[in-house]
Amino acid sequence: MRLVNMKTKIFNRKQLKQAGELIKKGELIAFPTETVYGLGANALNPKAVKKIFVVKGRPSNNPLIIHVCNLKQVEEIAYLNPLAKKLIKKFWPGPLTIILKKKKIVPKEVTAGLRTVAIRMPDNKTALALIKYSNCPIAAPSANISGKPSGTCFEHVYEDFGGKIAGIIKSRQCKIGIESTVLDLTQKIPEILRPGKIIKKQIEKIIGRVRESKGHVSKPKSPGMAYKHYSPNAKVIIVKNKSQIKEVFKKYSGKKIKLLIYKNAINMAHNLFKDFRDADKKGFDIIIVKSIQEKSLGNAIMNRLRKGGKIYQS
């Protein structure tokens, strides 16, 4: 499949019906969610799904999350189990993706040939309306060229995909700013494959013991864990404290350095990917990020940071 230069229509929130019809027809539409922007296609149309991999430059063995707007759609594509039902009741719509055994209707292009499928219901009115209007579940990875920081702002999504997809829905900066928690419910003990806003403790309250994948395994269960991720063009250096900040400035004197320090985890998650991309636009060579305590949302943030950058060793 070749990339053809096409006109990308910019939709506002009142034009979702038109955008939904394009999805249904097999076109790609980028849309906001509460976590990050998604690059959506009709999940039941293999040709449409293949386009996602082409325009993102995504390895075809990295499966996609299917976005739904009601339970009927979940039952159409996967086998629900009691744990899933409890979690759905508690956390949907919201930033929790669950992995279930898939039904035949789901094309192998979506799941990269796996027998399981990742599903979530986004907590964003625009996203939910788009799914409703498209009248099909929507497969969507984060809206960014593969390897880059996830798109959290309309402008950044346009930079990556303008001229390559049928449309983008214009909206505010995504609320949370980092991707959903991914929980595999197909194992004896459910396993968090990717940490996110919804944390282990909250999940355990509802379904009992879960494991947390360390993400450094040689044969990752979530194929996405194997790839370079979240990387701006600038080199990202993660520091602990002021004296390390000083050292890095000294070591790279002469380079254009951006320093990112956040007041709390919520603010950091909300802005980190945006700040990475803005730093690239301004031509910074190096981004220094002050790390955050690895608990709750901080755990998810550090998971992304470690993949996009290097911990500084004095």
Chain positions contacting ligand TXA, by CB under 6 A: 33, 35-36, 38, 62-65, 95, 97, 99, 111, 114, 116-118, 120, 122, 140-142, 179-180, 182, 193-194, 221-224
Minimum CB distance to ligand TXA smaller for 61 or for 264: 61
Residues 139-198 that bind Mg ion (CB under 5 A): 142
Minimum CB distance to Mg ion smaller for 71 or for 145: 145
Give which of Mg ion, ligand TXA, none residue 65 binds (C-beta under 5 to 8 Å, depending on kind).
Answer: ligand TXA
Tokens matching residue 145: 């060229």
Residue 271 phi, psi dihedral angles, 5° rounding: -110, -15
Report, in Å, the least distance between residue 139 CB and ligand TXA: 9
Rounded to an integer, what distance in angstroms lies between the CA atom of residue 119 and that of residue 73?
A: 10
Give which of ligand TXA, Mg ion, none residue 33 binds (C-beta under 5 to 8 Å, depending on kind).
Answer: ligand TXA
Query: Near Mg ion by CB under 5 A, which window of 84-92, 136-144, 166-174, 289-297?
Result: 136-144
Compute how many other C-beta atoms are within 10 angstroms of the C-beta atom of residue 235: 16
Minimum CB distance to ligand TXA smaller for 26 or for 223: 223
35 makes contact with Mg ion (CB under 5 A): no
134 makes contact with Mg ion (CB under 5 A): no
Residues 71-110 that bind Mg ion (CB under 5 A): none
Report, in Å, the least distance between residue 184 CB and ligand TXA: 6
Give which of Mg ion, ligand TXA, none residue 99 binds (C-beta under 5 to 8 Å, depending on kind).
Answer: ligand TXA
**Residue 115 parent element (H or E):** none
Report, in Å, the least distance between residue 35 CB and Mg ion: 10
Minimum CB distance to ligand TXA smaller for 164 or for 194: 194
Report, in Å, the least distance between residue 312 CB and ligand TXA: 26
Rounded to an integer, what distance in angstroms lies between the CA atom of residue 37 and that of residue 158?
A: 11
Bridge partner list, 238: 289, 311
Give which of Mg ion, ligand TXA, none residue 34 binds (C-beta under 5 to 8 Å, depending on kind).
Answer: none
Give the CB-nearest residue to Mg ion: 142
Rounded to an integer, what distance in angstroms lies between the CA atom of residue 32 and that of residue 38?
A: 6
**Residue 256 parent element (H or E):** none
- For the chain, give me the number of helices (H) and strands (E)? 11, 16
Give which of ligand TXA, Mg ion, none residue 36 binds (C-beta under 5 to 8 Å, depending on kind).
Answer: ligand TXA
Report, in Å, the least distance between residue 56 CB and ligand TXA: 9
Residue 283 burial class via C-beta count within 10 angstroms: exposed 0-12, middle 13-18, buried 19 and up: exposed
Give which of ligand TXA, Mg ion, none residue 97 binds (C-beta under 5 to 8 Å, depending on kind).
Answer: ligand TXA
Report, in Å, the least distance between residue 245 CB and ligand TXA: 30
Minimum CB distance to Mg ion smaller for 201 or for 228: 228
Minimum CB distance to ligand TXA smaller for 116 or for 296: 116
Judged by the rule CB under 5 A, the positions of this chain that interact with Mg ion are 142
